[in-house]
Structure 1
Amino acid sequence: MNDLFRNSLSAVIFISLLAGCTKSESTTIVATGYSDVDQVLSDSVPTAFNGKCYAVIHEDGKPVYARGFGGYTGSTRQLIASCSKWLSAAVVMSLVDEGKIKLTDTVGKYLPVFTTYHKGDITIAQLFSHTSGFPGNSAQGYESNVLITLTQAAEGIARNVALLNPPGTAFYYGGVSMQVAGRICEVASGKSWQQLAADKIFTPCGMTGTDYGLSANPQIAGGARSTPDDYMRFLDMLMNKGVAPNGTRVLSEAAVAAMEESQTAHVAIAYTPYPAALLNTKDFYGIGNWRDVTAPGGVLEENSSPGLFGSHPWINRGKKRTGFIFTFIADNGYLATVPTCLKVRALVRNK
């Protein structure tokens, strides 16, 4: 699957050993009208999810469905692979809110080495929408090497990773370009990526079980670890136009809107892990999230950011519903679980 939500094996082993997994008691909630969702999950989890899953759905910030399988609860903590991209996009937008960066800023403004190697004109928006021209992954593994720093990763990408396409012309999903954006955020803020994410997103949202691990080269596109309860706080913050469930303003309304705006209307698709048949519009990707269900005229109905290990968060903005199906299957979990996740989303969308 290329990088969809791919962490290198060495990174997975290293971070997983550090991550652990917390458990607590969990209450099952099946509100009126959600028995069909419960039935689909009950039928699918034993096989497609290897018996391990926690599914939760909110309407207007309140739970209407919550159930754990195989011992999973709302506080189970695991690597979430490309579900990280949505979190990372919010970190980027927090700096846009502060005026420290603009989505139209170029890489060369913050990292001159890219200009030296004729890659300085790529914009931050292109880095975070997979339209930078870079491949999804580098042969050298700069985006996943836990033994180097984020500074070294960005410099290695500048020097040694060739562009496959001119910036802004093709969509190639992966982690290389987001790694560069992460380093830009460090330079612009004067903080490490981990500290920046904690200060701007995790702490104000009350996400006490979420981080990017301990490596000095955090995987911006796929290295976060989180819990269902934490991630739902994040989704509800986005649903509420930047205000966290605890009442804290985390992002501006304009920042949330910018995250959800299409960045792909005029690009060719070079590589997409998302089922191509389901991309019913050219406006299928924003800043760190899929615009995967749209209404006529390109109006966003649902967006998401599923991960390689099978976890699948989404927002239905029109019906004020947020959801997260949380699991961990190291071997192509996305392929195993996505049919069930999409079926659940369709049931919830049509209620």
Structure 2
Amino acid sequence: MKLRSLFLFLITIYSTATRAQNNFTNVDTWLKDNAAEMGGRVVLVVYKDGKLIYNHAENNMNIKQKFVARLIARKQGKKAELDDFNSTSKIAIASCSKWLSAALVMTFVDEGKLKLTDTVGKYLPVLSQHGKGMITIGQCLSHQTGIKTPPLKESLEEMRQDNFMDDAMADIAALPMEGTPGKVFHYSNAGLQIAGAILEKISCKSFESLFIERIAQPLGMKNTDFGHAKVALPAGGAYSTPEDYLNFLTMIMNRGVYNGKRILSESSISQMQVNRITPDVKIAYSPAEAGGLGYGYGEWVFDAHTVSSPGLFGSFPWIDNDKHYAAFMLCFYIKSDGRQQRYKELKQLVDEAVK
């Protein structure tokens, strides 16, 4: 405990010293003003030029927020964590998981063990048996499978009941189609779940062990996992910390390299950031807070130089390839009203602070 306290103290001192070079006063104010709307606890970390340049938390949960946190934890069969947030706090990051999972798939593409044009029926006959074998790996990563899925919450609850990945595939195989693969965008869990199942088939390893081996360990993400569930949920089952996730963002920002070691090829990084929602793609479902955004592989394309993968509970990771910085805001709340505007406001303030 003493070592952890010392570590947090040193991080705070370092962050404070770095602020002399960057004026984050407006960011401080924004976090203080918005914390109450974001669950009462929020922490933001920003990385640029090889160092952490900002690390600040606001913690002021009210009675109602604590009650909601306990209620959610009880439904998940877990104990509510009500401690103050900091850069080492570990919580469920929901759809921020998609970015991690897409990157894991791309490691197999880099090794030639998969092609983005491979059809899923090649690996999962049950999908072919239900008329879904023609879907490609790339379409799985970009939510363009053409499968009509139930609402995200309902879909997750169903998959949590599965004991094996094959059970999850049988569930997805039985779903109806709503359009031609590649021509319909439907933000859901299905595509990445299929991709995860394929990784397990070709490697004979669990999705979680593959993630640890290929992403978490090389990036020093010691406190990130997929919940050690019976069946991993690639689209929304990860738990992480601001520190850990920032390591992942640093790798993406540095075109696949982390601490001198290549994790992903530059080609994979580029392909992940191409907007796949072209004019001929119908949007069947997109979260309200993502209106007007593009989507690549596991990540939203905000504009020509900004990519992100926000989660259901409000956490917001992003990379600005123009200003060459990465940031991660960790929070936990359900109400999504005004989220996209909130994200835009925060990013603009950080853009102004970063020099």
Q: Same fold by TM-score, threshold 0.5 exceeded?
A: yes
Q: Which has the larger radius of gyration?
A: 2
Task: Decide which of 287, 290, 294 is 2:300's aligned counterpart.
Answer: 290
Per the TM alignment, residue 221 of structure 1 is displaced from its structure 2 partner at its CA by 0.4
Amino acid at match of 1:43: D
Q: Which residue of 2 aligns with 1:35?
A: 25
Q: Mean Cα displacement is larger for which, 127-136 or 98-107? A: 127-136
Amino acid at match of 1:342: K
Matches within 5 A, 1:13-28: 25=8, 27=12, 28=15
Alpha-carbon distance change, 224 to 99 in structure 1, aligned in 2, over 3 angstroms = same
Per the TM alignment, residue 240 of structure 1 is displaced from its structure 2 partner at its CA by 0.6
Q: Which residue of 1 aligns with 2:313?
A: 309
Q: Which residue of 2 aligns with 1:98?
A: 111
Matches within 5 A, 1:1-351: 25=8, 27=12, 28-29=15-16, 30=19, 31-45=21-35, 47-70=36-59, 71-137=84-150, 144-158=159-173, 160-244=174-258, 246-265=259-278, 266-275=280-289, 278-279=292-293, 284-294=294-304, 301-329=305-333, 331-332=334-335, 334-335=336-337, 337-350=339-352
Alpha-carbon distance change, 223 to 103 in structure 1, aligned in 2, over 3 angstroms = same
Q: In structure 1, how many angstroms separate the alpha carbons of the residues matched to 2:119 and 2:133?
A: 6
Alpha-carbon distance change, 141 to 49 in structure 1, aligned in 2, over 3 angstroms = closer
SS of 1:269's partner is: strand
Per the TM alignment, residue 52 of structure 1 is displaced from its structure 2 partner at its CA by 0.5
Q: In structure 2, how many angstroms separate the alpha carbons of the residues matched to 1:38 and 1:140?
A: 37
Gaps of 5+ in 1: 1-21, 295-300
State TM-score, norm by structure 1.
0.84
CA deviations over 1:41-62 (Å, ceiling 9, x no partner): 12111x1123211101112332
Per the TM alignment, residue 122 of structure 1 is displaced from its structure 2 partner at its CA by 0.3
Q: In structure 1, how many angstroms separate the alpha carbons of the residues matched to 2:257 and 2:320?
A: 17
Contact 2:146/2:184 (<8 A) preserved = yes
Alpha-carbon distance change, 349 to 278 in structure 1, aligned in 2, over 3 angstroms = farther
Q: Which residue of 1 aligns with 2:65?
A: none
The structure where helix makes up a greater share of residues is 2
SS of 1:54's partner is: strand
Q: In structure 2, how many angstroms separate the alpha carbons of the residues matched to 1:167 and 1:221?
A: 19
Per the TM alignment, residue 153 of structure 1 is displaced from its structure 2 partner at its CA by 0.4
Q: Which residue of 2 aligns with 1:16?
A: none
Contact 1:259/1:288 (<8 A) preserved = yes
Per the TM alignment, residue 278 of structure 1 is displaced from its structure 2 partner at its CA by 4.1
Per the TM alignment, residue 187 of structure 1 is displaced from its structure 2 partner at its CA by 0.9
CA deviations over 1:17-62 (Å, ceiling 9, x no partner): xxxxx987351544522211111112111x1123211101112332
SS of 2:262's partner is: coil
Please tell me the root mean square deviation across aligned C-alpha atoms, in Å: 2.0
Count of residues in correspondence between the two structures:
315
- The percentage of aligned residue pairs carrying the same residue is 39
Contact 2:126/2:169 (<8 A) preserved = no
State TM-score, norm by structure 2.
0.83
Per the TM alignment, residue 146 of structure 1 is displaced from its structure 2 partner at its CA by 4.4
Contact 1:205/1:248 (<8 A) preserved = no
Q: In structure 2, how many angstroms separate the alpha carbons of the residues matched to 1:61 and 1:192?
A: 33
SS of 1:33's partner is: coil
Q: In structure 2, how many angstroms separate the alpha carbons of the residues matched to 1:203 and 1:182?
A: 19
Per the TM alignment, residue 316 of structure 1 is displaced from its structure 2 partner at its CA by 0.3
Amino acid at match of 1:131: Q
Amino acid at match of 2:28: D
